[in-house]
Amino acid sequence: MIPMLKRSTALLIPLLLAAGLWLWWQNRSQENVLPQRTAKPTTLSTLGRVPDWKSLEAQQGTITRREFERLLTTVFVTGGSWREFMDIGENEVRIRTADGENAEVFVLRFANEGSAKAPARWWRVPEELPPAAAGKPLDGLHIAIDPGHIGGKWASIEERSFDAGDGHAVREGDLTLQVAKRLRPQLESLGARVSLVREKAEPVTQWRPEGLIETARQANENSAAPDSPIALRKLAERLFYRTAEIHARADLVNQSIKPDLVLCLHFNAEAWGDPNQPRLVDRSHFHILLNGAYSDEELRLADHRFAMIDKLLSRTHEEETSIGMSVANVFARISGLPPYTYPVGASNVLPVNGHPYLWARNLLANRLYQCPVIFMEPYVMNSITDHARIKLGDYDGTRDVNGTPRVSIIREYADALAEGLKQVYAARRATIER
């Protein structure tokens, strides 16, 4: 027995020493590790997605500090809250990706003057396209047409429908789809490949309002908005057509269509009150919206902040401005519409290059679509003249509208937009010599 006990003790002592040494080392190692500070949860817009900041690694060295600051302060922000999230140094900008001082930081390295690389993107500017055939300035260009809103049976939920008592319901989603179907063959005749984001008066999203009630309730938790069943239903409806629908269209544009340009078609309107007894006004106007003018409140949302940086680095603004100026000039000449002017001091909009028809705003569609977007806002659906033209529908030639011969408003819209695109691409693009 005693020899066996000695052998057991001889084996046990090294094991105890090893265990003690391991515990000592663990405790010593812990002393050299700083306590981990937990970052706050990322604040996102409702239905917003956590950004993939690593995807911006492809943009390293594609912009100088001077150009970054110019675009940021003159196009993309309207206030000063960006300084809470960005630290611009001589050679890099450090961008906080989430909330709180302990959030992870994305570091973007600036290029030296004269040595910036081309930005990483799928879409092409006119100068990057091969020479076009004569009379085909849009040859090889891929354009997505996004007919705004949904229309049909959804128009009343969207609050983009009214009936002036003449039995003719005006639905914006139906009008934009008419223009899109008129515009598509015109652009194709100029050489473009054209995709429609929607081709009927039905949602692209699979969500429906009833499936968004809980999301609406969560969105109301930190607000003073009423949470009655009726109020929650209205909020769920807005989340359906304003948010989920645009996210679904963005997925289609960014993941499947991948166009060089998106044309978002809309008709403007002024407050009409009761949709069954709408107020008609005696004025009409036109403007085009480009992405930009992120407010201080929007920049505190991580998904807005990421999208702004992504837009800035891919240089969509320069392309939107060039195309927008041509379209605006031609559209104003053909339609005769005056420019719409935003109130002085508005915190969510900026003028673009002093052009009376171009404005920068941060809209969900022109933010999420990862390519240049021309967001059209012509006419006023409840203006006396435009309403009369809308009721006439599409037609050949001219018809009398309040004593003046006018072409179809659908054709005028499509014709002017096509001509504006034709002119800018013809001016900027090389042509095959015969």
Mind listing the pLDDT tens digit for each residue in 85-111?
999 999 999 999 998 778 899 999 999
- pLDDT, average across residues 339-343: 96
pLDDT-derived band at 284, boundaries 50, 70, 90: very high
Alpha helices in 64-141 (DSSP H): 65-71
pLDDT of residue 15: 52
Q: Taking a C-beta distance cutoff of 8 angstroms, is the pair 302, 88 a contact?
A: no
Q: Establish if 35 belongs to a structural domain.
A: no
Task: Identify the pLDDT of residue 13.
Answer: 52
Contact (Cβ atoms closer than 8 angstroms) between residue 163 and residue 276:
yes
In terms of Cα–Cα distance, which of 293, 377, 371 is closest to 328?
A: 377
Distance set, CA 98 to CA 106, 170, 179, 187 (Å): 10, 43, 41, 42
pLDDT of 223 strictly over 80 = no
328 inside domain: yes
Mean per-residue pLDDT over the chain, rounded: 91
Regarding whether 376 and 339 lie in a shared domain, the answer is: yes
Distance CA 152, CA 161 (A): 9
Do residue 213 and residue 275 come from a single domain? yes
- Distance, in Å, from the CA atom of 97 to the CA atom of 175, rounded to the nearest integer, reads 40
- Are residues 130 and 105 part of one domain? no
**What is the average per-residue pLDDT within 144-170?**
96
Verify that 73 and 222 share a domain, yes or no: no
Question: Both 100 and 244 in a single domain?
Answer: no
| CB-based contacts of 91, cutoff 8 Å, min separation 6 | 65, 109, 110
**Domain final residue, candidates 45, 78, 109:** 109
Q: Which two tokens stand for residue 254?
A: 């960014």
Domain-ending residue, one of 74, 109, 144: 109
Residue 165 burial (10 A CB sphere; 0-12, 13-18, 19+): exposed
* Number of domains the chain is built from: 2
- Supply the pLDDT for residue 220: 84
CATH number, domain of 418, equals: 3.40.630.40
**What ranges in 32-150 are assigned the alpha helix state H?**
65-71
Examine the pLDDT at 402 and tell me if it is beyond 80.
yes
Q: Are residues 84 and 183 in the same domain?
A: no
What confidence tens digit (pLDDT) does each residue in 290-338 have?
999 999 999 999 999 999 999 999 999 999 999 999 999 999 999 999 9
Domain boundary among 109, 136, 152: 109
322 Cβ contact list (under 8 Å, min separation 6): 424, 428
Q: How many CB atoms lie within 10 A of CB 158?
A: 21
Q: What is the pLDDT of residues 165-222, one digit of tens each?
A: 988 999 999 999 999 999 999 999 999 999 999 999 999 999 999 999 999 999 888 6
Give the residue numbers spanning the domain of 262: 126-428
148 and 231 together in one domain: yes
Which of 26 and 388 is assigned the larger pLDDT? 388
Strand pairing partners for 264?
Answer: 146, 375
In a shared domain, residues 393 and 286: yes
The reported pTM is 0.90
Q: Are residues 360 and 301 in the same domain?
A: yes
Q: Are 73 and 174 members of one domain?
A: no
> Cα dist. 386→163, 164, 176, 409 in Å?
14, 13, 14, 8
Same domain, 85 and 233: no
With contact defined as beta carbons under 8 Å apart, do 193 and 143 qualify?
Answer: yes
Sort 257 into a burial class: Cβ within 10 Å, 0-12 / 13-18 / 19+. buried
- pLDDT for res 1: 41
Residue 37 has pLDDT above 50, yes or no: no
Q: Can you give the pLDDT at residue 25?
A: 43
Residue 34 lies inside a defined structural domain of this protein: no
Greater confidence (8 vs 176) lies with 176
How far CA 15 is from CA of 2, 3, 18, 19, 22, in Å, comes to 20, 19, 5, 6, 11
pLDDT at 10: 52
**The pLDDT of residue 167:** 87
